[in-house]
Amino acid sequence: MTAARPLSLAWKNLGENLVVRALIIDARILRRLPGEKQSKPQKDPHAVRRNPNKLIQEGKVTHLLGTEIRDELMRRGAPIIGKRWELEKQLAELIAKDGPAGASSAPPASSGEGDAKPSRVAEPSLDTTAIRSKYAAALAAKKNKAMNKTPSEAIAAMAAATESEWDMQPGAGELLRYIDMRGMARVLLPSDDKAGGDGAAEGAAMCKKLQCPGFAHVLASGVASALRKADAAPLLELCEVLGLPSSSVMIVTDHQASLSAARQARFFSTFVAKPIEGAPRRLPSDFAATNMNSLREVIEEVNGFSFRDSSTEIRASKYKGGG
């Protein structure tokens, strides 16, 4: 198990002013359900997007990276040995002479008889069309079978899946490590709420797969079952265990009854939409998220500190409690 990372003094000082000090995270939002649509790769909206071709078109050679300058010189057939200022000057002269598009160097065409390569002996061609069509049909049938599952069928299939078959959400590990770094406690709401379900084993397996420390607390199967029936009593008991008021706890789930129990207990509630056919797009809750990145932004919004901006703006939270 990965050891918890030590907190810096700056994080500890910021942690003293946290509004949300514990999160109850539904295991179902950390795992991808069978038939769930593959989400697009998550990108940092604040990441700098470089476009070397545009810089070359504008003649901004000094804005290019060293590797980009060498690549462009190589494409034009020019030497790439020299100091940076020499390569910049050389590329600027080539752009002024040949234009931004330039002339790429192409290997000379040979016409001698000695350069001709012997043709390969013709081999009997295999009729691969039928094989490919058969494979494509089988793959499409398997995909359609998964995509046509109802949300309840997908949840049942997820509960029956073995650990090796688990498919975690992109960014789930980064989210859990971020929660730890901010000094918040993580509580797991197991996906299997049936009697005898082993939520602790599920939590340990998930953390092992995501390479992050374990959960501070895992709800027992009976508690999880009551919570999924909109019973708020287990949440209030959990507050006593954690030593926190209800206004300092947030529940993150896609389950309607669990969100209802959170509102009754005056918890913060965040609905995470699952991209599966028939699943609700929105449920009554304080906040909503669509992936792990947007969930992190919700947590930052409630706690009042933003480290996503280049100015590292720190501001006080406008939220005083759940509900």
- List of E strands, the chain: 22-26, 185-189, 217-218, 249-253, 268-272, 287-289
Nearest to 270 by CA among 234, 298, 242: 298
Hey, where are the domains in the chain? 9-35+163-303, 37-105+143-148
- pLDDT at position 302 is 87
> What torsion do the CA atoms of 155, 33, 293, 185 make, to the nearest 10 degrees?
40
According to CATH, the topology of domain 9-35+163-303 is Rossmann fold (3.40.50)
Tokens of 36: 């769930």
- pLDDT at position 128 is 63
Is 176 in contact with 186 (CB distance < 8 Å)?
yes
Helices (H) and strands (E) in the chain, counts: 13, 6
Tokens of 307: 């480290």
- The verdict on pTM exceeding 0.75 is no
**DSSP 3-state of 288:** strand
- pLDDT at position 311 is 45
What size, in residues, is the chain?
323
Q: Amino acid identity of 87? A: L
Nearest to 218 by CA among 210, 209, 227, 229: 227
Per-residue pLDDT of the chain (323 residues; tens, 9 = 90+): 445 555 444 445 555 678 899 999 999 899 887 666 655 545 544 445 668 888 888 888 888 888 888 889 988 888 888 888 999 999 999 998 888 887 655 544 444 555 555 444 444 444 566 676 777 777 666 555 544 455 555 455 555 555 566 788 889 999 999 999 888 999 999 986 555 567 888 899 999 999 899 999 999 888 888 998 999 999 999 999 999 999 999 999 999 999 999 999 999 999 998 877 777 888 889 999 989 989 998 998 888 755 544 444 445 555 555 44
Nearest to 4 by CA among 182, 211, 187, 180: 180
